[in-house]
Amino acid sequence: MTTNETYFIPEPSRWPIISASGVFVLLFGFILFINDVGAGSMIMTAGFLMITYIFFGWFGTVIDENLKGNYGSQVSTSFRQGMFWFITSEVFFFLTFFGCLYYFRTIAIPYLGGEGQLGSSNLLWDGFTAHWPLINLPDATNYSPPKEAMGAGGIPLWNTIILLSSGATLTWAHWGLKKESKNQLVLGLIMTVVLGLIFFALQAYEYYHAYTAMGLKLTSGIYGSTFYMLTGFHGLHVTIGTIMLIVITIRSMKDHFTEENHFAFEAVAWYWHFVDVVWIGLYFFVYWL
């Protein structure tokens, strides 16, 4: 609820309309690109550059305004609540894919295998038996079935340890911020970034290994589809999170944050912990169980 301090209303800004145009150009180019229309990749690159420019410009404006001390406590509450609801929507985005995985494993594939009152495989593909991970597809004409499924040991286990540790180092950095120890703050952030990059590299290697040695591809039927969709969107979020962490590290070096005023740090930390929790879900439901 409002206090009597004056709420900061920004001056008219050109960033929103440029952002909207950038999104349009990027997606328009992407559509042409995936449909093999000539200029697609060029337009897509232009859109991507526009969005990059906006990120620098818009966030730069916000940082400037903050450093000028325009933001009162109520504005920073608005930012925090906004970030909270944004992460909530991200949670639902991931729940969608987890929900799909659940649906395939407990409803769709058993039905294909003839379970339940309306099991259909006897009509469509006689002899198909339900199993997970799905290696033998009902009809592999258009797909390339995998040779084997992902295990829970090895790289995924290491990645779990790495990502959980990165959560710990980030919290340690936060403690540093709280007790105004810049060294601890920056060191903690750098360790977090490094762990994020290692995670990214291992994940990239895992994909490479899966594609070449295991024959597990996006086109490998539903196991490959769900595997890459879930881990891929998670990987995308790790990438975004790492970029955010790098920005925050640089800003910490420049003494942008104080004990009271460090919304950006908190927002990135929440985001990183969210990515962390999603990984734990992935590890259990995609790799392990």
- In the range 30-49, which residues lie near other proteins by CB under 8 A? 30-31, 34-35
| Contact call for residues 182 and 255 (beta carbons, < 8 A) | yes
First to last CA, the chain: 46
Nearer to other proteins, 28 or 285 (CB): 28
In angstroms, what is the minimal distance from the CB of 9 to other proteins? 5
Q: Is 74 in the site for other proteins (CB under 8 A)?
A: yes
Site for other proteins in 46-65 (CB under 8 A): 58
Answer yes or no: are the C-beta atoms of 188 and 169 closer than 8 Å. Answer: yes
CB of 98 to other proteins, least distance (A): 10
Q: Does 225 bind other proteins (CB under 8 A)?
A: yes
Q: Which of 50, 109, 150, 170 binds other proteins (CB under 8 A)?
A: 109
Report if residue 270 touches other proteins, rule: CB under 8 A.
no
Q: Which residues of 118-141 are buried (b: 16+ CB within 10 A; e: fewer)?
A: eeebeeeeeebebeebbbebbeee
Angle subtended at Cα 234 by Cα 229 and Cα 237, rounded to the nearest 5 degrees: 130
Query: Tokens 């002899």 correspond to what residue?
Result: 127
- Residue from 47, 188, 224, 241 touching other proteins (CB under 8 A): that is 224
Structure tokens at 29: 């180019």
Site for other proteins contains 207 (CB under 8 A): no
Backbone angles phi, psi at 199, to 5 degrees: -55, -45
CB of 112 to other proteins, least distance (A): 6
Instruction: Rule CB under 8 A: choose which of 167, 196, 221, 235 binds other proteins.
Output: 221
Contact stretch for other proteins (CB under 8 A) within 171-179, 199-207, 225-233, 260-268: 225-233
Report if residue 219 touches other proteins, rule: CB under 8 A.
yes
- On the CB side of 145, CA atoms within 13 Å amount to 12
Give least dist CB 283 to other proteins, A: 20
**Smallest distance from the beta carbon of 171 to other proteins, in angstroms?**
26
Q: Which residue stretch of 18-26, 181-189, 194-202, 251-259 sits at the interface with other proteins (rule: CB under 8 A)?
A: 18-26
Length of the chain: 289
Judged by CB under 8 A, which stretch of 26-34, 161-169, 176-184, 280-288 contacts other proteins?
26-34
Stretch that binds other proteins, among 45-53, 180-188, 223-231, 268-276 (CB under 8 A): 223-231
Residue 40: Cβ within 10 Å count: 17
| Interface with other proteins (CB under 8 A), residue from 43, 189, 222, 278 | 222
Among 41, 59, 67, 81, which residue interacts with other proteins (rule: CB under 8 A)?
81
Radius of gyration of the chain (CA): 23
- Chain centroid to CA 113: how far? 34
Separation between Cα atoms, residue 269 and residue 272, nearest integer Å:
5
- Smallest Cα–Cα separation from 231: which of 287, 288, 174? 287
Q: How far apart are CA 127 and CA 80, in angstroms?
A: 55
Using CB under 8 A as the binding rule, the residues of this chain from 120 to 179 that contact other proteins are 124, 134, 137-143
